[in-house]
Amino acid sequence: MSSTYEALVLDEPCTRCNFPKIEMRKLVYMSPNEFEVLVFVCPNCGYHQSYIADLNSKKPVRYTIYINQQSDLNTLIYRSPQADIAIPELGLEVDHTGFTQAKITTVEGFLLEAKSQVDALFTKSEAEKFLAMTEAALKGRLKFTFILDDESGASWVKARTGTNYEVEYQQNT
């Protein structure tokens, strides 16, 4: 039986006690069926949540999240190492690389991270515009769409309230 195990500390607060760094444990079983178990554990209060996914049934997926109000910024995202992200309104495209790590974050967390990497992502003249628009977006003054494309199908999106996103599965080619 071959399987892989990986543990990561995430820059995400615990949803129960707000401890700032939860742990993500990822197990991938290769036989008899290929499936993945993700367990999020809070080292402070012991809160845990797990997700099980059958990797054989996964198809390339696209999530389109509509950010229409400030609370939509709290939409939770699990970005797998194969996920590409685009926010057309902000001119932002972040494709995955060999160094992309699995990460659980929110739309807001993603914007804050992009802001901190603005020098790497944009030229000087574009950067200023991006920062001004991102500032407005973070204050809920700018509606935008957050698009996540994942060829591995492992990513997921979880709205805090209601459903402000669409999911499209593509056929494997």
Q: Is 48 in the site for Zn ion (CB under 5 A)?
A: no
Do 39 and 62 form a contact (C-beta atoms < 8 A)?
no
Neighbour tally for 68: CB within 10 Å: 11
Closest contact distance (angstroms) between CB of 39 and Zn ion is: 14
Using the contact rule CB under 5 A, the part of the chain among 9-17, 65-73, 93-101, 151-159 near Zn ion is 9-17
Kindly tell me which residue out of 10, 14, 65, 133 binds Zn ion, with binding defined by CB under 5 A: 14
Q: Is 19 in the site for Zn ion (CB under 5 A)?
A: yes
Name the β-bridge partners of 10. Answer: 22
Measured from the CB atom, the residue of 44 and 106 that comes closer to Zn ion is 44
Residue 148 lies near Zn ion (rule: CB under 5 A) = no
How far apart are the C-alpha atoms of 24 and 78, rounded to whole Å?
A: 11
8 Å CB contact between 85 and 111:
no
User: Nearest approach, Cβ of 104 to Zn ion (angstroms)?
Assistant: 14
Q: Of 27-46, which residues contact Zn ion (CB under 5 A)? A: 42, 44-45
User: Torsion over CA of 120, 90, 114 and 58, rounded to 10 degrees?
Assistant: -110
Binding site for Zn ion (CB under 5 A): 14, 16-17, 19, 42, 44-45, 47
